[in-house]
Structure 1
Amino acid sequence: MLLTINIGNTNILCGIWQDQSLARTERFPVSDISRLDTFFASPSQIEAVLVGAVNPHAAQDVLDAASRALNCPILAAGRDFEVPVRNRTRFPDRVGIDRLLNALAAYHRTRKPCVIIDIGTAVTIDAVNGAGEFLGGAIMPGLAGALSTLHSTTALLPHIDPARDRDIPVLGRDTEGAMSSGVFWGIVGAVEKISEMLRREAPGAVTFLTGGDAERFAPHLGGIDHTVAALALEGLRLAYLAR
């Protein structure tokens, strides 16, 4: 079995692979790292731990916890094994490993150009061409980040828990409702428009939706071909096998 761990800014996504199947996944906050213990319950069955991270502090905590609990290789993508995707951005070393893992997994599924939307703490919308090369894309705040910025950069706008309302009407009837509407539907509109524009850069692209907030936004987004919550975990497994 392979234990794959994708560490974001807010959440950790873990998955156990048995051969080519993802047998179990769990997402939890980076502040609740003790929940990793349930994945360490059968240490003799784990062949390797594969970690992809955009949060260096949390990544070190995870690597340390895995080292204490397991007697197997504990490998970080980008440090111990490469992500085999040609990166055609201006500064390849600055691209988040999660974006490359998503690109690898999406292209492996389709062998066609791809647009990949990852909605979490940040929203990334990226393009992959027909040769599987990562072209770049767009980055914008996610739901929690945008709401937090409105609160922290203004005198009177309140703090809002992004999980407060699952159904957000466009017409906000109070300040909190207007903030939630502007941010939520603003993300929907921006994602749809940017995706449309990126598909012109990668004609015939297949569009993927992933990330911690993917399921929440999926019903409201047009043009999505596949919603895959654990796309980065697929990328970790593929990158490890290709080393």
Structure 2
Amino acid sequence: MILLVDVGNTNIVLGVYNRLNNKFIAQWRLSTDSKKTSDEYGIEVMQLFHNAKLNPTDVDGVIVSSVVPNIMHSLETMISQYFNITPIIVGPGIKTGINIKYDNPKEVGADRIVNAVAAHEIYKRPCVIIDFGTATTFCALTKCGDYLGGAICPGVQIASEALFERAAKLPRVELIKTPNIICKNTISSMQAGMVYGYIGQVKYIVEKMKKEIIELGEENPYVIATGGLAKLIYEETNCIDKIDQYLTLEGLKIIYQKNKE
């Protein structure tokens, strides 16, 4: 089995991939906390394995992508101590199968690279990849695997928190879709502005990115979304072709195979 670990600013997503039947057999989320020790993470992960009736000793490979550098010491130590494995860390020098066209390829977040690898290997066509995380990232990919770059926006949760913190009379609100965009109270008005404004932002950026990719001579890009708010946006617009919640884990699995197998 392969343990796949994607460290984001808010959550750590863990997946277990069974090479015998080519299936993901577990997926979990932990809170990202740079103050936790390796043993604290180890206890949590061991408990997850126990609850899923999985044996940690069956794990013979681990790969990690991270956008949170100050958590890596604890995680790498935990993996070494509890799994007796030196993990593959997604970064410079790792085989990915894509060509990064960024001005400085080292600046591209590991999560964006992993998503692009999965999209290239699975869909084999030009793509726009949207990852709805703490930040919302938009990535452009050609059919031959050139990673062109993209855009990064504050996630809707960050925008909501900023509004609460900076506007004295506005409360913290739950992010839900309102029946109408013309609302008659402050909370609903904030919810409508956040959610529908976010949907409009996604539609506009996708349209512009698709246009720029087509101008390069590529066919109409396939738009893939992953992350927490993907379903909400997908239901409200026709600019997303598919939701793939396993996209990042698929990318980690593919990179592991390219570098180990």
Task: Answer whether TM exceeds 0.5 for this pair.
Answer: yes
- SS class of match (2:100): coil
Inter-partner Cα distance in structure 1 for 2:122 and 2:140 = 15
- Tell me the equivalent position of 1:192: 203
The one-letter code sitting in structure 2 at the alignment partner of 1:209 is A
The equivalent residue for 2:59 is 46
Unaligned runs of 5+ in 2: 215-219
Picking from 224, 236, 241, the partner of 1:208 is 224
- Comparing 183-192 with 166-175, greater Cα deviation is found at 166-175
Instruction: Report the alpha carbon displacement of residue 59 of structure 1 after superposing the two structures with TM.
Output: 3.4
TM-score by length of 2: 0.84
User: Which digits, 9 at most, give the CA deviation of each residue in 1:114-142, with x for residues without a partner?
Assistant: 00011111111111012111111111111
Aligned to 1:181: 192
Q: Quote the Cα distance in structure 1 between the aligned partners of 2:28 and 2:56.
A: 18
Q: CA distance change for structure 1 residues 80 and 46 in 2, over 3 Å: closer, same or farther?
A: farther
User: Any conservation in 2 of the 1:8–1:54 contact (CA below 8 Å)?
Assistant: yes
Structure 2 contact 175–194 (Cα < 8 Å) conserved:
no
How far off is 1:202 after superposition?
2.3
Find 2:246's aligned residue among 211, 230, 238: 230
- Counterpart residue identity of residue 24, structure 2: L
- Gaps spanning 5+ residues in structure 1: where? none
* Aligned residue number for residue 5 of structure 1: 5
Counterparts in 2 of 1:17 and 1:215: CA distance versus 1, 3 Å:
same
Cα deviation digits, residues 35-80 of structure 1 (max 9, x gap): 4222485222101111111112333332232222111232211167
Report how many aligned residue pairs link the two structures. 240
Question: What is the SS of the residue equivalent to 2:138?
Answer: strand
State the partner residue of 1:217. 233
Amino acid of the residue matched to residue 253 of structure 2? Answer: R
> What secondary structure sits across from 1:202 in the alignment?
helix
Note the aligned Cα RMSD (angstroms): 2.1
Q: 78-87 or 144-153: which moved more? A: 78-87
Answer yes or no: is 1:64 the counterpart of 2:77.
Answer: yes
| 2:138–2:152 contact (8 Å) kept in structure 1 | yes
Report the TM-score when normalising by structure 1: 0.90
Within the candidate set 94, 119, 122, 1:81 is matched to 94
Q: Which has the larger radius of gyration?
A: 2
Measured in 2, the distance between the counterparts of 1:55 and 1:168 equals 34
Helix, strand or coil for the counterpart of 2:85? coil
